[in-house]
Every structure is written in C-alpha cells, then in structure tokens.
Amino acid sequence: MWFSWNDFDRRMMGFNQLFRQLERAARLPLEGNLVTEDDPDRFSLVETPEHYSFAVDLPGVKAKDVQLDLHDQTLTLTVKREVKAPEAYAVHRAERNSTSWKRSVTLPTQVDSDRTEARFDNGVLTVRIARTAEVQPRRIAVKAT
C-alpha cells in the first residue's frame, strides 16, 4: 500500500492541532497568561505623555471587518476574517480558517475618545488614544524667592 506524503500530512494535521492545544493548556497555569505565541491577536500598548499607542497585527483581515469601540477606559477590538475558495474550485488543502474574535483592553487612565484615531495599513492596526488633559503629566516651574 503506497500513499502520497500529502495524504500523510492531511492525516497528521489533526494531531498537530491537538498537540498545540495540549501544550497551551499545560503552559497556562505556569504562565498565568491567556495569550501565547500561536494566538492571532497579540498586541502592544505603549504609553507616552500625551497618548497611548495600541498596535495589533491582523494578517488577511480587511479594514471593513475590524470594529473598534472605546467606552470609558476600555478599548474593545472585534475582528472577523472570512476565507472562502472561489466558486467552482476544489480545495486540496486548507490551513487558513475563517475566524472571528473579540479582545478588550482596560487602559490605566481616563482617555479622550473624541481625539482617538485608528489607522489600518499593510495588515497592522494602529490606534492612537489621546489621554485627557487632567491626567497628562505637567511640569511645574519652581520660583526662587
């Protein structure tokens, strides 16, 4: 019985997914973190004196499928990616899946939602979240008497 390597790869794909899920479950109590390297929604949040900068890589996602909500100090990102084969085409291997997910981040201070801007460029979403004037650091001049 001869078989091609493609058949073998297809059969082993389920085991790969199972092992990744088991490995993630085993690391979870040790790390105390729900985000791992395999998660698609890894982000960075950087603070400057005037604003917060939130960035996340969203490969294969269109700008119309990204929704951002800012309520009080919580930024919520909702993403939907749909992968479909063109009609009348046969799919021989599909490792890219349609997916949707939601992620919320609580910011450390109050923010100004009116001055918040978002850009989506080359698969990277960058959100510039302005801090309110009362929480921005300010320098106080010391006068000598």
Q: Could you tell me which CATH class the domain 40-135 is placed in?
A: mainly beta
pLDDT band of residue 118 (cuts 50, 70, 90) is very high
In tens, the pLDDT along 55-114 reads 999 888 889 999 999 988 899 999 988 888 888 888 888 777 788 888 889 998 888 888
Give the residue extent of every domain in the chain: 1-39, 40-135
pLDDT at residue 27 is higher than 60: yes
95: closest CA among 79, 104, 83? 83
pLDDT at residue 29 is higher than 80: no
Tell me the percentage of the chain whose pLDDT exceeds 90. Answer: 22
Tell me the percentage of the chain whose pLDDT exceeds 70. Answer: 81
What's the chain's average pLDDT?
80
pLDDT at residue 119 is higher than 90: yes
pLDDT band of residue 54 (cuts 50, 70, 90) is very high
pLDDT (0 to 100) of residue 32: 47
List own/partner pairs for 106-109 with CB under 8 A and 24 or more apart: 106/73, 106/74, 107/45, 107/52, 107/73, 107/74, 107/75, 108/47, 108/73, 109/73, 109/135
pTM for the model? 0.63
Hey, what amino acid is at 45? Answer: L
39: closest CA among 51, 53, 57? 57
Lay out the sheet containing 99-106: strands in order across. Answer: 66-71, 74-81, 99-106
